[in-house]
Amino acid sequence: MADQKNTNHPQTGHEPDVNANQGDHGHYILPDSVALKTLLALAGLTIITVGLSYVHLGPWNFVVGMIVATIKAALVAGIFMNLKHDDRANAVIFGSGFLFLGIFFCLTAPDALFRGDVYVNGRPLTLPVKGVAKFKKAWEPTPEIVAHGKALFAQNCVTCHGEAGLGNGPAAAALNPKPRNFTADVGWKNGRHPAGVFKTLKEGIAGGGMASFATLPAEDRWSLAHYVISIGPNVVKDTNADLAAVGIADPTKEETGSDETPSIPVNRAMEFIANEEAASGTGSANVKAGVGQSDLSGYDRRLEAHTFAPSL
């Protein structure tokens, strides 16, 4: 092909010198050798991209994959689309497209990824999942409620507090202050008695690693509180004043947690709606009936009544 270069244009010479590759109106003509090298580079990078998918680097797979793709894109835009020798204004124009795309992503991602951290009001969390309270007067410890608390502890707490509640779970190493050791008697933020633990579970500890577990139903939080007290050196009971402090004005009544400020993450609420729509066959949601709602049934209807049509 090389001989065809000069057929009509003696000034577009063979020399690799960039300035020699000028056609009419000073237009840069891509030498065939550069085109071929670019093709080979793109092919090599494609092999790297495919090979990379067989190596497990965790999140770095994505980062490296995108960097390789961007190098390829730069080769295509810079050499094949000739941005390298083009008017600089065109590079600015094209680059601005990616700049605004970046701004779009940076503004959108935090909203979409962290929306679940915003809570809306919702009534049902004082009630158990299946609609009927398993435990009447959940502030009174019974062997059943402690056993229930133990199961919940294994699901929700062991990562930080450890299986034996010694505050030495796998995630504890990264935490400062360290998670509470439940077998120690002193230093409990809200006091070592069930209502104090219940309060901590509801509110979390500001400035500490303890998160709020307000999304757990109140009776589950009571169950956890009783279990946590049970693994300590002695079982401490709440006084009426302790119970009153967490809203149990009359401990003889069977209502749980009347002063609860019910809350639920927005994305959970959206899942409920999606599940309900899918179940009734009216919705446009992706979620099929019966998928992902096994532990949510019973929540949704009350949510709709209390959260999405609040009495004004």
Partner 1 sequence: MSQPLNTTGVHHHAHHFDSADHEFQASKQGMWIFMVTEVLMIGAIFVGYLIMRARYPEAFHEAHKLLNVKLGALNTAVLILSSYTMVRGVSAAQRGNNKLTIRMLMTTIALALVFCVVKYFEYSHKIHEGTLPGGNYTYAELSMPHVPLFFSFYFIMTGIHAFHVLVGIGLMTWMIKRVKSGEITPEFFTPVELVGFYWHFVDLVWIYLFPLLYLLG
Query: Which residues of this chain interact with partner 1, rule CB under 8 A?
Result: 1, 4-9, 12, 23-27, 29-32, 35-36, 38-39, 42-43, 46, 49-50, 52-53, 61-62, 65-66, 68-69, 72-73, 76-77, 80-81, 86-87, 89-90, 93-94, 96-98, 100-101, 104-105, 108-109, 112-113, 284, 286-288, 291-292
Nearer to partner 1, 93 or 164 (CB): 93
What are the structure tokens assigned to 35, written together? 């085109």
Contact criterion met (CB below 8 Å) for 116 and 265: yes
Nearer to partner 1, 52 or 205 (CB): 52
What are the structure tokens assigned to 205, written together? 């500890």
Shortest distance, CB of residue 73 to partner 1, whole angstroms? 5
Which amino acid, one-letter code, is at 107? Answer: L
Nearer to partner 1, 65 or 208 (CB): 65
Shortest distance, CB of residue 300 to partner 1, whole angstroms? 15
Cis, bond preceding 217 (omega within 30 deg of 0) = no
Nearer to partner 1, 286 or 311 (CB): 286
Nearer to partner 1, 242 or 276 (CB): 276
Nearer to partner 1, 39 or 249 (CB): 39
Helix (H), strand (E) counts: the chain: 10, 2
DSSP label of 178: P
What string of DSSP letters covers 147-162? Answer: HHHHHHHHHHTHHHH-
Cα separation, 5 vs 14, in Å, equals 8
Contacts of 54 (CB under 8 A, 6+ apart): none
Shortest distance, CB of residue 230 to partner 1, whole angstroms? 35
Nearer to partner 1, 173 or 270 (CB): 270
Shortest distance, CB of residue 233 to partner 1, whole angstroms? 41
Shortest distance, CB of residue 97 to partner 1, whole angstroms? 4
Cα separation, 245 vs 5, in Å, equals 90
Contact criterion met (CB below 8 Å) for 124 and 306: yes
Cα separation, 64 vs 56, in Å, equals 11
Shortest distance, CB of residue 40 to partner 1, whole angstroms? 9
Shortest distance, CB of residue 4 to partner 1, whole angstroms? 5
The count of other CB atoms within 10 Å of the CB of residue 83 is 18
Shortest distance, CB of residue 203 to partner 1, whole angstroms? 27
Cα separation, 53 vs 64, in Å, equals 10
DSSP label of 119: E
Nearer to partner 1, 74 or 249 (CB): 74
Cα separation, 32 vs 14, in Å, equals 10
